[in-house]
C-alpha cells in the first residue's frame, strides 16, 4: 500500500461512532447465499488497491476464492471513502484498515468491530532521512526537525512517549505526502509508508528509512476486520475468506515477480517496474518468525494490549480506552489454520 492520507486518518471511524450506528439499523442479513450458491462477500478496503493487497489479488487470479465457495468483490477506498460504515451496515461483509490504531479508535467510539487477521506484521510507517543528518536509532531523534502528516502526528507522539523523549526535544513540522520538504532541507526527516518506493526515490538511493517499529512503536497493518455479529453468525465464511487470502499470499511468497504481473494485469495503473523493486519489502513486512510458526495473518494479543496502553497514555481515548479483548478475535485464525501457510520472511 502506498503512502496516502487514509493510513492514519480516523475520519471514517468517527463518522461511524456510537451515535451513528443507529442509522445502519440492527439485524441486517450479512451473507446472502443459498446452500448451493457461492457465498457473496464484499471487502471494503481503506485505500486504493496496491502492493499491500497483492495476495488478495492473487487469490482472485488463481481461483482460491472460487475453490473456497466464495464470490468476492473488492471495494477499494480512497481519499473520500469511508471504511467503517459499509461494514457496519452490511453493504460489505468485512473490511481492511491500513493500521491497527484505526480499529482501536473505532472500538473506543462504540463501533462493534474486531480484528480477525493482520496482513502486515508491522506498520510500514517510517522516518526517512539523508546521510548528512541521519536518523538510525532513537539516540538520533533529539534536536531533529521531523516532517509528518497531521493524521500521523499521534504516531510520532506515541513513539516519543515509548522512548521517554520529551516532545520539546524535537520539532514537528506538518507536511504532505511528497518528499520535497526533505529534499529541500526544510526538515531532517519525513514520515511516510516505506512501501511507497517510487515517491521515496526522489530522496536518493543513499537515504535512511527507519520504521517506527524499529523505534519501539509496535503496530499491525493491513488489518482485516468484521462486525461482532458477522463473527458470531458467519465465522466459517469469514475463515474461508482468510484461508483463501492466505493461500494467495503464500503463492506470492513463492512467485513474487509473477504476482506483480497479476497485480498490474488487474490494476493497470500500477507501475510494474516499481512494484518488482518493492515486492521483497512487502514480503518482509508480511512474513517473519511468527508467521513461520503460526501462519500468515497471525497477531499477538499481548502486543495489541501494549499498543492500546501506549495510545491511551498519550490521550487517544478521551472517553476511555477499549478493552483489548473487545478489539480482536482469534476464532477466524483458528478456523483457517489449515489453509494459512507457515512461512517466514524470504531470504534476502
Pairing mode, strands 189-193 and 145-148: parallel
User: Nearest CA to 284 among 252, 242, 245, 326?
Assistant: 252
Where are the domain boundaries for CATH 3.40.190.10 in the chain?
11-123+219-335, 126-215
Mean per-residue pLDDT for 186-190? Answer: 98
pLDDT at residue 300 is higher than 70: yes
**How far, CA to CA in Å, does 242 sit from each of 66, 75, 257, 271, 348?**
13, 16, 23, 27, 27
End-to-end C-alpha distance for the chain, whole angstroms: 21
Report the range of poorest mean pLDDT among 32-36, 68-72, 149-153, 158-162: 32-36
Q: CATH homologous superfamily of domain 126-215?
A: Periplasmic binding protein-like II (3.40.190.10)
Read off the pLDDT of residues 127-166 as tens digits, 9 standing for 90 and up: 999 999 999 999 999 999 999 999 999 999 999 999 999 9
Read off the pLDDT of residues 113-129 as tens digits, 9 standing for 90 and up: 999 999 999 999 999 99
Q: What does the block give as the cell for 20?
A: 451513528
What DSSP designation does 328 have?
A: B
Which residue has cell 520539532? Answer: 171
pLDDT at residue 16 is higher than 50: no
CATH code of the region 11-123+219-335: 3.40.190.10
Amino acid at each position: 500500500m502506498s503512502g496516502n492520507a487514509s493510513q492514519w486518518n480516523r475520519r471514517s471511524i468517527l463518522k461511524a461512532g456510537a451515535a451513528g450506528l443507529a442509522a445502519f439499523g440492527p439485524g441486517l442479513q450479512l451473507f446472502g447465499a443459498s446452500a448451493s450458491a457461492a457465498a457473496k462477500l464484499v471487502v471494503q478496503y481503506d485505500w486504493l488497491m496496491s502492493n499491500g493487497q497483492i495476495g488478495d489479488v492473487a487469490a482472485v487470479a488463481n481461483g482460491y476464492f472460487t475453490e473456497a465457495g466464495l464470490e468476492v468483490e473488492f471495494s477499494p477506498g480512497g481519499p473520500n471513502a469511508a471504511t467503517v460504515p459499509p461494514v457496519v451496515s452490511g453493504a460489505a461483509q468485512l473490511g481492511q484498515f491500513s493500521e491497527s490504531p484505526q480499529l482501536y479508535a473505532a472500538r473506543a467510539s462504540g463501533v462493534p468491530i474486531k480484528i480477525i487477521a493482520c496482513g502486515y506484521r508491522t506498520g510500514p510507517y517510517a522516518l526517512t532521512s539523508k546521510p548528512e543528518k541521519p536518523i538510525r536509532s532513537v539516540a538520533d531523534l533529539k534536536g531533529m526537525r521531523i516532517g509528518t502528516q497531521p493524521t500521523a502526528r499521534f504516531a510520532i507522539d506515541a513513539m516519543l512517549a515509548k522512548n521517554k523523549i520529551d516532545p520539546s526535544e524535537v520539532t514537528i513540522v506538518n507536511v504532505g505526502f511528497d518528499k520535497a520538504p526533505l529534499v529541500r532541507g526544510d526538515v531532517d526527516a519525513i514520515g511516510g509508508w516505506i512501501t511507497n518506493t517510487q515517491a521515496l526515490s526522489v530522496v536518493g538511493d543513499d537515504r535512511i528509512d527507519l520504521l517506527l517499529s524499529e523505534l519501539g512503536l509496535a503496530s499491525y497493518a493491513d488489518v482485516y476486520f468484521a462486525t461482532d455479529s458477522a463473527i458470531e453468525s458467519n465465522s466459517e465464511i469469514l475463515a474461508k475468506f482468510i484461508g483463501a487470502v492466505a493461500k494467495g499470499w503464500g503463492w506470492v511468497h513463492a512467485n513474487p515477480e509473477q504476482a506483480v504481473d497479476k497485480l498490474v494485469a488487474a490494476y493497470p495503473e500500477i507501475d510494474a517496474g516499481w512494484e518488482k523493486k518493492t515486492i521483497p519489502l512487502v514480503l518482509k513486512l508480511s512474513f517473519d518468525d511468527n508467521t513461520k510458526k503460526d501462519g500468515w495473518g497471525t497477531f499477538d494479543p499481548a502486543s495489541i494490549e501494549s499498543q492500546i496502553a501506549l495510545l491511551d497514555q498519550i490521550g487517544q481515548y478521551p472517553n476511555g480506552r477499549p478493552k483489548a479483548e473487545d478489539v480482536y478475535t482469534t476464532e477466524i485464525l483458528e478456523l483457517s489454520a489449515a489453509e494459512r501457510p507457515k512461512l517466514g520472511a524470504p531470504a534476502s
